[in-house]
Amino acid sequence: MIFKRIHKWIRLFKIKNKEPYLSLYNMLGFYPDNIELYEQAFIHRSIAVTQDGKRSNNERLEFLGDAVLDAIIADIVYKYFPNKKEGFLTNTRSKIVQRDSLNQIALELGIDKKVTSLPYATTHHKYMYGNALEALIGAIYLDQGYRCCCQFVEKRIIHKYVSLDKLASREVNFKSRLLEWGQKTKLHIEFDLIETVTDVEGNPVFQTSKSLEGTPLGIG
C-alpha cells in the first residue's frame, strides 16, 4: 500500500504542471486518475467523437451525474434544515438542481471554456453547460468515488455559489402561489393544459391557459 501511494505521488508530481491536469485541478481541487472520463464529460453530443466504432459524448455521464447529484444535494439539504418537512426539502433541492441554477454554476466554474461543441449548439442547447456539470460529477464518481463527489459538491459548489437560506426562501412555484391566493380571496382560478411539447434538450414544456372566475388571464 505504501509503495502504491509513493508511485501515485511520483506520477502526479510529473503531470501536475501539465495541461489539462493543472486546469482540472484548479476546478476540482484534486488531480484526476482517469482523465479520459473528464474529457468525455466535456464533449457535447453535437460533436460526439467515435471510439472503437461507438459514438462518445457526455450524455451517459450526465445521466449518472444527475442521479449522484440528486442524492448529494438531498443529504446536504436534509442535514442543513433538520426541522423542515419533506415538501420543503424537496422544493429546496429542486431549486438547486434546476437547469437554470446548474447552468449558472457551470459558468462560475468555467465549464463553458472546456465544453467542445458545434457552433450552433450554444444557441440551440440552452442548458449545455449545466448538463456538462452533471456529466463532470458523473466522471468524478467513476474516477474518485462517492465521497469525493460529496466533497466537490459541498466545497466547490454549495459553499461558493449557493446560499441555502436565500434559496429556500425564494418562490419558484408560481402556480401553487396563485392557487393559494385564490383560496384566500375566495376566487376561483383555473388552469387548462393546451399543449405539451419537448425542448431541444428533451425536457417537457407545458403550455396552459389561466382564468379567474371564468375570465381568461393569459397563456403561458
Catalytic residue set: 66, 134
C-alpha cell at 195: 399543449
Count of CB atoms situated within 10 Å of the CB of 199: 13
CB 97, CB 170: distance < 8 Å: no
CB 92, CB 168: distance < 8 Å: yes
CA distances from 99 to 18, 35, 170 (A): 33, 26, 16
Tell me the three state secondary structure of residue 83.
coil
29: which DSSP letter? S
On the CB side of 42, how many CA atoms lie within 13 Å of its CA?
15
Phi then psi dihedrals of residue 82, to 5 deg:
-70, -20
Paired strand residues for 208: 193
Taking the CA atoms of 49, 103, 19 and 5 in sequence, report the sign of the dihedral they define. Answer: negative
Q: How many contiguous H segments (helices) and E segments (strands) does the chain have?
A: 12, 5
